[in-house]
């Protein structure tokens, strides 16, 4: 197996103007990969293969990999995951496409990041919209759900409560107040007028209870809509899981930051798949983006706990908590129309697999 160029190459980095806490240094440094780095690419290829096997209707198991069969992992592409698919189809592109309404629906959904919570609100309200929004009604529905011991937040992100600062005893009230504040201060229009993803990110991160990682996730979700149209290759914010995954993939980073590593890996994807003799089916011509490789580093952090238990990351975690459980219903597979993917899906699958199953469907 060939040595990865990242193990022996010095990479020049471009100077980038950024806020101090996200600075990329403009210097040169080496990166030395571990055996987990090759596993990173093997995982990406196999996880994407599982995605396609399921989506064309093959029966389980969709992989011979015992780890993938046992534990839950996100898709290689963030936009292919169940929650992102639901957000794109049922939240962003359902209802008024005005800037205010798309922003309101998107951030409301992402504050909880849970399909069941959105469907609860949809069931109890005549209309989920900023035009008809009432703090009292939303609070009543969510409080009643909590009193029934219903979980209204996803465990995917750690959501700061802000309760003490806002004088509220319930986290969801602080988040509704945050959304109100953003709407009152014309954040939707400011995002729509932003000249770059970074500028939009800076607007979001300036608000309480929204740190760097959450702001990056939110601007990525808003970018699925027609409010803005930024490239996902502009910049990236590594989360704790990705930082741990990078620490397992590289025994030395030299002067490279985690941000540098994610960008270099993303730019080298074709060469690395070829080096390892791996067949990777892209998302109908769309290569992995920075957000996708950030997520893959988070997933390899978990995967390596079982595959490479002897390799310690900075988080020192040893177990994977979430077991794989088939979901109840498949979700129609659909991506932001501006990506020009949706019209290619059926024909592409027919051409590659020799079969056509109508509207592609995927569950995760």
82, part of any domain:
no
355 within a domain of the structure (yes/no): no
Retrieve residue 74's tokens: 């996100």
The predicted pLDDT at position 1 comes to 59
Mean pLDDT over 237-252 rounds to 97
pTM over 0.85: yes
Give mean pLDDT, residues 345-355.
50
Is there a single domain that holds both residue 47 and residue 125? no
pLDDT for 325: 80
Residue 119's pLDDT band (boundaries 50, 70, 90)? very high
Task: Write the DSSP assignment of 319-349 as a string of letters.
Answer: ---PBP---SS-EE----GGG--HHHHHHHH
Task: Evaluate whether residue 304 is within a structural domain.
Answer: yes
3-state SS, one letter per residue, for 129-158:
CCCCCCHHHHHHHHHHHHHCCCCCCCCCCC
Tell me whether residue 233 is in a domain. no
Q: Is residue 232 part of a domain?
A: no
Q: Please give the average per-residue pLDDT across 343-363, as a whole number.
A: 47
Domain boundary among 189, 222, 255: 222
**Does a structural domain hold residue 364?**
no
On whether both 206 and 270 belong to a single domain, the answer is no
Length of the chain equals 364
- How far apart, in whole angstroms, are the C-alpha atoms of residue 96 and residue 131? 10
Indicate whether 357 pLDDT > 50: no
What's the pLDDT band for 8 if we cut at 50, 70, 90? very low
H or E element in which residue 81 lies: none
Predicted pLDDT at 2: 63
100 and 155 assigned to the same domain: yes
Is 358 inside a domain boundary? no
In the chain, which ranges are continuous DSSP H helix? 35-55, 66-70, 82-86, 99-112, 115-124, 135-147, 163-166, 171-184, 187-193, 197-205, 212-222, 240-249, 258-267, 269-275, 290-307, 342-353
Give the pLDDT confidence of 259-272 residue by residue, as tens digits: 999 999 999 999 99
Q: What is the pLDDT of residue 25?
A: 32
Domain that holds residue 106: 94-222
Q: Which residues contact 274 (CB under 8 A, 6 or more apart)?
A: none
27 with 118, same domain: the answer is: no
**Confidence tier at 347 by pLDDT (50, 70, 90):** low
Specify the pLDDT at position 348. 53
Share of residues in the chain with pLDDT > 90 (%): 74
Q: Within 13 Å, how many C-alpha atoms sit on residue 79's CB side?
A: 27
* 70 in a structural domain: no
The total number of structural domains that make up the chain: 2
């Amino acid at each position: 197996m060939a040595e990865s160029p990242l193990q022996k190459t010095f990479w020049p980095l471009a100077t980038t103007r950024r806020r101090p806490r996200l600075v990329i240094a403009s210097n040169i440094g080496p990166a030395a990969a571990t055996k987990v780095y090759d596993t990173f690419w093997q995982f990406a290829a196999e996880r994407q293969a599982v995605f396609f096997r399921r989506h064309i209707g093959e029966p389980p198991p969709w992989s011979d990999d015992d780890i993938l069969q046992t534990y839950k992992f996100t898709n290689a592409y963030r936009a292919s995951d169940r929650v992102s698919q639901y957000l794109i189809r049922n939240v962003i592109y359902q209802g008024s496409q005005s800037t205010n309404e798309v922003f309101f629906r998107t951030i409301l959904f992402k504050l909880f990041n849970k399909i069941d919570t959105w469907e609860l609100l949809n069931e109890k309200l005549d209309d989920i919209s900023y035009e008809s929004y009432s703090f009292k009604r939303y609070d009543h529905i969510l409080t009643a759900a909590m009193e029934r011991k219903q979980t209204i937040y996803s465990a995917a992100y750690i959501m700061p409560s802000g309760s003490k600062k806002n004088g509220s005893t319930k986290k969801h009230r602080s988040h509704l107040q945050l959304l109100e504040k953003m709407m009152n201060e014309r954040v939707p229009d400011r995002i729509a007028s932003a000249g770059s993803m970074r500028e939009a990110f800076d607007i979001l991160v300036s608000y309480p209870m929204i740190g760097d990682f959450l702001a990056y996730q939110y601007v990525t979700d808003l970018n699925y809509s027609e409010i803005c149209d930024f490239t996902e290759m502009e910049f990236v914010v590594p989360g704790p899981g990705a930082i741990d995954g990078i620490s397992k993939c590289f025994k030395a980073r030299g002067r490279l930051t985690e941000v540098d590593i994610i960008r270099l890996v993303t730019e080298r994807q074709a060469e690395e798949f070829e080096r390892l003799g791996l067949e990777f089916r892209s998302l109908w011509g769309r290569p992995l983006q920075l957000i996708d490789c950030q997520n893959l580093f988070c997933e390899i952090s978990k995967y390596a706990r079982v595959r490479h238990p002897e390799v310690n990351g900075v988080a020192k975690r040893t177990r994977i908590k979430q077991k794989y459980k088939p979901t109840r219903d498949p979700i129609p597979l659909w991506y932001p129309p501006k990506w020009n993917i949706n019209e290619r899906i059926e024909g592409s699958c027919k051409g590659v697999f020799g079969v056509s199953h109508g509207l592609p469907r995927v569950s995760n």
